Structure 1
Amino acid sequence: MMYSSSESMHNETYCGSCYGAQESPEQCCNSCEDVREAYRKKGWGVSNPDSIDQCKSEGFLQTIKDEEGEGCNIYGILEINKVAGNFHFAPGKSFQQSNVHVHDLLPFQKDSFNLSHKINKLSFGEPFPGVINPLDGAQWIQHSSYGMAQYFVKVVPTVYSHLNEQIILSNQFSVTEHYRSGDSGRVQALPGVFFFYDLSPIKVTFTERHVSFLHFLTNVCAIVGGVFTVSGIIDSFVYHGQRAITKKRELGKFT
């Protein structure tokens, strides 16, 4: 009995071809995602999804076209090692090819990628009183066809000690923004939003402390003394200025 490609995929005995990417003769690829995953493990890219029965029957390319122009909202927590590195958001699924991290962009065969984005919140570690995250609320609009939005982040380890002896181990960071156009340089830039981070060897410590009454009284006295000193200087300036003007008038030299 013969089955069409769409009918055979719903058959329990169906074992789809992996198109040369199978790890063993018994491996089956019953969906387009299975074939693409097998290709990624081999470090290959799917050049023509329509030539794969599973992708063709699932309407893979049509699904990609239907999603064109859509945006996405990304949130979550990422654990990173305490060494320099990067994390990024880019179209296409990633895989390793010759020990190089690459993305499969063939399903998105187009001349432009709109990477306009807004960062609602980005922090490295737990929040603490007074912390300012410079990228919170940052918005970037892309004006060229495609390219790479880059954020170079310098992370500073920070320790915050509360009055109740609670200690928060967190981080602060500064950032420099850069945009690399897709046609700049010899190597074509991967379209995406990249965050390159590096840790500072310096640690900052904040400690909450009670101010004693004697210290408060000393500060008040210093403020009052400063006010009187400034008032005395102004009064002396006005007094001597008035005397000089009066003296010149008496001598007839003031016009």
Structure 2
Amino acid sequence: MDKVLNRLRNLDAYPKINEDFFNRTLSGGVITLVSSIIMLLLFFSEFRLYLHTVTETKLLVDTSRGGTLRIHFDVTFPAVRCSLLSLDAMDISGEQHLDIRHDIIKKRIDSLGNVIEARQDGIGAPKIETPLQRHGGRLGKDEKYCGSCYGAETADDDCCNSCEEVREAYRKKGWGMTNIDLIDQCKREGFVQKIKDEEGEGCNIHGSLEVNKVAGNFHFATGKSFHQSNFLQDLLAFQQDKYNISHRINRLAFGDFYPGVINPLDGVQWVQEAPNGMYQYFIKVVPTIYTDIRGRTINSNQFSVTEHFKSAEMGLYQSLPGVFFFYDLSPIKVTFKEEHASFLHFVTHICAIVGGVFTVAGIIDSFIYHGRRALKKKMEIGKFS
């Protein structure tokens, strides 16, 4: 047993010096105090970094297929009436959504930007309780009145009891409503008068839109859209010769919020100077997956954008007045993952701090100690000589 202990004693890499040979100095005490403070400060700095999370970023090929994309928007048009503003969407798969109203809220605003009225049902009015006329045969004793669709009926029993239902029937036929005053339902509901009452007003439109996860576009058009073979807008009879599509994008996001996301169009404002035209945003959407420190995952998107204004000649609507957002999906996705530095990494840094400061302090102390001894010897030799 004693032999084993002796061998272990011989392995000691830290031989001890007898206390009789210690020589404590004032400079050594000062260096020890300073180095201890430095080690303490560096320790707390490293400990704080260990407690904070770091974000690891990776680029991967996006192999996901199908799915949908949620678009959140909040756009203000200072010079476009809410009744003339519609939201349409279409994609390369051929799917179209015209005059979208679901999850959309419009706010009428005055010239100073104050909200006059907020509504979610667009310009449509409720059905007329007593429709004006019966079509498709004589009125029986127990039959209810049924409003005409003015030639847009698909069957004899089809009814259009509101201006909105007439407009919808025309849209399904691919027709345009060119004279609202001749539609009794619209006349009864005061549709045209409602448009006139909004003269000089602007509109704020916000909400969300769910589209297929393929390339496409959505746009805010000045005038109600109709489904026609050339996808142009058939504007209502009260259309203007000029539309001021000046706008401010308060918010535009593709997907849910995650920490650190930057949407480059938030707060962007554009003022129209040309008489008419369409403003285009070309957007490259990058799928993004964010995983926080607790392991919760958020599937969202980032995007980059370029802008272009396309002017239109008066009387021609090949360039439709409105604000268009053309988006395309990147084949590369980005992943952000929050994580702590490993404990072993933290211990390694602490050891490096302690060892490094201790070694440097020892070198400085040795330099000062031997320098003072050499200076003292030279003084003694000079004194004896």
Normalized against structure 1, the TM-score is what? 0.73
> If you compute each CA radius of gyration, which structure gives the higher value, 1 or 2?
2
Q: Deviations over 1:175-207 (max 9, x none)?
A: 0011111229x8621111111100101111222
Q: Say which of 255, 273, 282 aligns to 1:143.
A: 273
SS in 2 for 1:26: coil
Identify the match of residue 74 of structure 1 among 182, 205, 208.
205
Distance 2:263 2:249 in 1: 11
User: Which one of the candidate residues 58, 65, 85 is aligned to 2:189?
Assistant: 58
Q: Whole-Å Cα distance in 1 between the matches of residues 161 and 219 of structure 2?
A: 31
Q: Which residue of 1 aligns with 2:318?
A: 188
Deviation digits for residues 63-106 of structure 1 (CA, Å, limit 9, x no counterpart): 222212222222212212111001111123333223x4343412
AA matched with 2:336: F
1:113 pairs with 2:243:
yes
Q: Which string of whole-angstrom CA distances, capped at 9 and with x for unpartnered residues, describes residues 133-161 of structure 1?
A: 10111111111222111111101111222
**Deviation sequence 1:197-218 (CA, Å, 0-9, x none):** 0010111122223233256569
**Contact conserved, 2:176 with 2:226, CA < 8 A, in 1?**
no
> Are the structure 2 counterparts of residues 141 and 218 from structure 1 closer, same or farther at C-alpha, using a change threshold of 3 Å?
farther
Asked whether the 8 Å contact 2:223–2:239 carries over to 1, the reply is no
Higher relative contact order (CA 8 A, sep 6+): 2
Partner SS, residue 188 of structure 1: coil
CA distance in 2, matches of 1:25, 1:18: 10
Offset of 1:219 from its aligned partner?
A: 9.6
CA distance 1:129–1:23, change in 2 (3 Å): same
Cα distance, 1:20–1:137 mapped onto 2, change above 3 Å: same
Corresponding letter in the other structure for 2:256: E
The CA deviation at 1:110 is 1.0
What are structure 1's unaligned runs of at least 5 residues? 1-6, 225-255
TM-score w.r.t. length of structure 2: 0.50
- Structure having the higher strand fraction is 2
Find the counterpart in structure 2 of residue 84 from structure 1.
215
Residue 41 of structure 2 is aligned to residue 41 of structure 1: no
How far has the Cα of 1:220 moved from its partner? 7.6
- Among 261, 278, 283, the residue aligned to 1:153: 283
| Aligned-residue offset at 1:46 | 1.1
Q: Is the 8 A contact 2:131 2:161 kept in 1?
A: no
Q: Would you say the 8 A contact 2:290–2:336 is kept in 1?
A: yes
SS in 2 for 1:175: strand
Show the counterpart of 1:29: 160
Partner-residue secondary structure (3-state), 2:326: strand
Does the CA-based 8 Å contact 1:160-1:168 persist in structure 2? yes
- DSSP 3-state at the match of 2:167: helix
Aligned residues, how many? 214
Query: Distance between the aligned counterparts of 1:169 and 1:218, measured in 2?
Result: 40
* Partners of 1:93 and 1:104 within 8 A in 2: yes
Worse overlay, 149-158 or 101-110? 101-110
Paired residue for 2:346?
213
Aligned to 1:199: 329
1:9 aligns with 2:140: no
Gaps of 5+ in 2: 1-129, 135-142, 358-385
| Percent of residue pairs bearing the same amino acid type | 64
Report the Cα distance in structure 1 between the residues aligned to 2:351 and 2:220, rounded to whole angstroms. 55
Kindly indicate whether the alpha-carbon contact (under 8 Å) linking 1:18 and 1:38 is maintained by their aligned counterparts in 2. yes
